[in-house]
Structure 1
Amino acid sequence: MKDTKLAQSEAKFAELVWRNEPIGSGELVKLCEKEFNWKKSTTYTVLKNLCEKGIFRNQDATVTSLVKKDELYGGESRRFVEDTFGGSLPRFLTAFIGSGKLSQRQAEELKKLIDEHREETP
């Protein structure tokens, strides 16, 4: 994957592919016309760009993903935290939560995630 930063139109397109894959390229053109009012050439241009980025593959007129949604957005999120908060997840969470409060359920989910991903100490 060369560049995983998606433009808004690319992200909408990617969501459509992920929801419908594997999908024939002809069917994808019809869906994009219906969903986004795109012409055939626009669909193929966006598809070509995302194939060049290594996110999708169009082989034998069938479009499939090479990168799953969670993998793509997980990478973007990690880069955002790195670039904006110096890689500090606590600083990011503090900014994200702001002066708001977490529900009991949200706090429990975060604790569970932390426990599942905590590094083992010798």
Structure 2
Amino acid sequence: MKEIRLHEGELNIMELLWSNKTLAAKDIAKIIKEYIGWEKNTTYTVIKRLIDKGAIMREDPGFICKASISKRTVQNIETKVLINQLYSGSLSKFIVDFLKEQELSKAELMELERIVNEQKF
């Protein structure tokens, strides 16, 4: 699967689809108009771009849209890009720098320790 990068506007539409599973393009346009203020043509242009990228599948009749990429996949892609850009691809440097700035609860520390221990094997 190719790496699909999404910008903020595209993510707004994807969030609707991840929450609702399927929506007609006209309903997406109504919701986006109400919450973001985009005109119908703008929303349809972004939906078409998402279809072209492979992030959305279109089903007819009714121009029904369904996400073809999971939110988790997008999160993983964007996290890897961020780590590559800001930490030269070093996951450990990112984790160390990030955790230094956090106040973690005992439960969170135990969860992190569990995850690290799972990775050892």
TM range (shorter): 0.7 to 0.9
Paired amino acid for 2:31: L
Unaligned runs of 5+ in 2: none
Matches of 1:25 and 1:99, distance apart in 2: 42
What is the Cα deviation at residue 6 of structure 1? 2.1
**4+ residue runs over 6 A deviation:** none
User: 1:16: which partner in 2?
Assistant: 16
Q: Does 1:70 align with 2:69?
A: no
Change (3 A) 1:46 1:99: closer
TM superposition shift of 1:2: 4.8
Match of 2:50 in 1: 50
| Deviations 1:48-97 (CA, angstroms, capped at 9, x unpaired) | 11111111112211100110101111121123223432333221111112
Check whether the contact 2:5–2:77 (CA below 8 A) recurs between aligned residues.
Answer: no
The equivalences for 1:89-108 within 5 A come to 89-108=91-110
What is the count of residue pairs matched by the alignment? 119
Identical pairs, percent:
28
Residues 82 and 88 of structure 1 are in contact (CA less than 8 Å); yes or no, is this contact kept in structure 2? yes
Q: CA deviation at 1:26?
A: 1.7
Q: Are the equivalent residues in 2 in contact too, given 1:21–1:64 (CA < 8 A)?
A: yes
Question: Displacement, 1:15?
Answer: 1.0
1:13 maps to amino acid: I
SS at match of 1:95: helix
2:82 corresponds to which residue? 80
Q: Distance in 2 between matches of 1:115 and 1:62?
A: 44
Whole-angstrom distance in 2 between the partners of 1:72 and 1:32 = 20
Greater CA drift, 68-77 or 8-17: 8-17
RMSD: 2.0
Q: State how far apart, in whole Å, the 2-side matches of 1:77 and 1:100 are.
A: 18
Using structure 1 for the length normalisation, give the TM-score. Answer: 0.82
